[in-house]
Amino acid sequence: MINILFIGAGGFLGAISRYLVSLWIGERFGRTFPMGTFSVNIIGCFIIGLLMTLFSERVLVPHQWRLFAAVGFVGSFTTFSTFEYETGTLIFDGEWFLAALNVALSIIVGFAALKAGEIIARSI
């Protein structure tokens, strides 16, 4: 039961953070391209790469804190389902190039962010 509470607390904070970060980015960069969702996904990839590498190789933390951070916070912070929906909307609107750009950049830059997080965690 305690694990569920840790995940729920992390999820609560992750969902709120996702909303606020996406809103802030959308207000600054516009909404033609889903930059808020793209940015949140990249930031989430970086955070999970950083934290899980730190937690498994550098800093031993209780299992509940891993659940809080990775499953709860990052799981709620990243927005893959929203990514899929927005990509589908771009396709429906005939914006094939923007849809393909969103998919390609999310995968390529997301993977690069994951690796950057791992590298930074290992250098600490």
pLDDT tens for the chain, 124 residues long, are 999 999 999 999 999 999 999 999 999 999 899 999 999 999 999 999 999 999 989 998 999 999 999 999 999 999 888 899 899 999 999 999 999 999 999 999 999 999 999 999 999 9
Determine the Cα–Cα distance for residues 64 and 57; give it in Å rounded to an integer.
Answer: 17
Domains in the chain, number: 1
The conformational region for residue 30 under phi > 0 = left, psi -120 to 50 = alpha, else beta, is left
Contacts from 106-115 at CB under 8 Å and sequence distance 24+? 106/38, 106/41, 106/42, 109/42, 110/41, 110/42, 110/45, 111/45, 113/42, 113/43, 113/45, 113/46, 113/49, 114/45, 114/46, 114/48, 114/49, 115/49
pLDDT of 47: 95
What secondary structure letter does DSSP report for 32? S
For 60, the domain range is 2-123
Q: What is the pTM of this model?
A: 0.84
